[in-house]
Amino acid sequence: MYPLITLGPLRLSSGGLLLLAAAYLWAWRVVQVARHRGGTTLAVHAKECTLPALFGAAIGGRLWAGLFSLDRYGPAPELFLAPQLTDLAWPGALLGGALVGWGCCRRRGANPWALADVAALSLPLALAVGGVGLLLSGEAFGLPTTLPWGVPLFGAVRHPTQLYGTLAALLIGALLSAAEYFASDDRPLAPGRLAARFLALHGLSLLLIEALRADSFTIADGVRATQIVGLALLLAGLHRLRARPAPTMPMPPVPID
């Protein structure tokens, strides 16, 4: 890790600051994309659900990290509440944020598929920034390699799996933007289609990149937990793409103060 400043119990690092920047970037981008795609009403719904989704992501990410590191968290359960920005796991953060965000949409009468598309369009850039943060914090590091683009880390030249994730996120973002750009007025993308594409592409990237990581959480027989999540996301995305489009739910008008 590369610390920058210490503030009481917080030991901020360049990696942790970039993870915070990624979360802020996603929250800002969600509202902008929602306003572009659905006007003021969708933007207000997005703004209302962004903070709860981020809290859900933080809780899910910490629980995932803790449950797969019980040798460290078991004797000291207070670590679940520790203000440690980098001790989060992305699969748990994605699941936690998605569940809380979905529940928020249903409670406020918003179209969850429309906001899922907005979140999917906004995530790749945030994931790209977060990948750089993981590299600087030394998290999610790769297996040793002899490839010329390997990075020296922890006494070996390793796959820059964090940067692989950054490049994959940028590619996914470009593909989603292209799909939205080339959708015609006669054949618009049904709600949920962009989210399904994101799930399938991101799941595939997790399956491939996780195989090169050296610090993966594993379950029985050494199966990598994140690869199981990646496979589930891939299958869920493909299933959604094959399903009939969900009917568009009208969004109730939102009073603007």
For residues 170-204, one letter each, b for 16 or more C-beta atoms within 10 angstroms of the residue's C-beta and e for the rest, the string is eebbeebeeebeeeeeeeebbbbbbbbbbbbbbbb
Residue 186, pLDDT score: 59
pLDDT in tens, 102-153: 999 988 888 899 999 999 999 999 999 999 988 888 888 899 999 999 999 8
Residue 257, pLDDT score: 46
How far apart, in whole angstroms, are the C-alpha atoms of residue 110 and residue 103? 10
pTM given for the model? 0.85
Name the more confident of 41 and 78.
Answer: 41
SS3 211: coil
Residue 2, pLDDT score: 58
Position 153, amino acid: L
Q: How many CA atoms lie within 13 A of 181 on its CB side?
A: 6
What are the backbone angles phi and psi of residue 68, rounded to the nearest 5°?
A: -95, 5
SS3 3: strand
SS3 153: strand
Q: Using the predicted structure, report yes or no on whether residue 255 has a pLDDT greater than 60.
A: no
Contact between 97 and 53 under an 8 Å Cβ cutoff? The reply is yes
Contact between 199 and 240 under an 8 Å Cβ cutoff? The reply is yes
Residue 49, pLDDT score: 92
Residue 68, pLDDT score: 76
Contact between 212 and 161 under an 8 Å Cβ cutoff? The reply is yes
Name the more confident of 252 and 173.
Answer: 173
How far apart, in whole angstroms, are the C-alpha atoms of residue 40 and residue 23? 22
Residue 144, pLDDT score: 95
Give the confidence band of 83 by pLDDT, cuts at 50, 70, 90.
low
pLDDT in tens, 224-251: 889 999 999 999 999 998 876 555 545 5
Contact between 214 and 141 under an 8 Å Cβ cutoff? The reply is yes
Residue 67, pLDDT score: 81
Residue 184, pLDDT score: 58
- Joined together, the tokens standing for residue 166 give 């950054």
SS3 62: helix
Identify any residues that bridge with 234 across adjacent strands, giving them in sequence order: none
pLDDT in tens, 180-205: 888 756 567 888 899 999 999 999 99
Contact between 195 and 116 under an 8 Å Cβ cutoff? The reply is yes
pLDDT in tens, 29-48: 999 999 988 889 999 999 99
SS3 173: helix
pLDDT in tens, 162-176: 999 999 999 999 999
Compute the average pLDDT of residues 8-36.
83
Residue 7, pLDDT score: 58
How far apart, in whole angstroms, are the C-alpha atoms of residue 176 and residue 190? 14
Q: Using the predicted structure, report yes or no on whether residue 72 has a pLDDT greater than 60.
A: yes
What is the CA angle 139-145-148, rounded to 5? Answer: 105
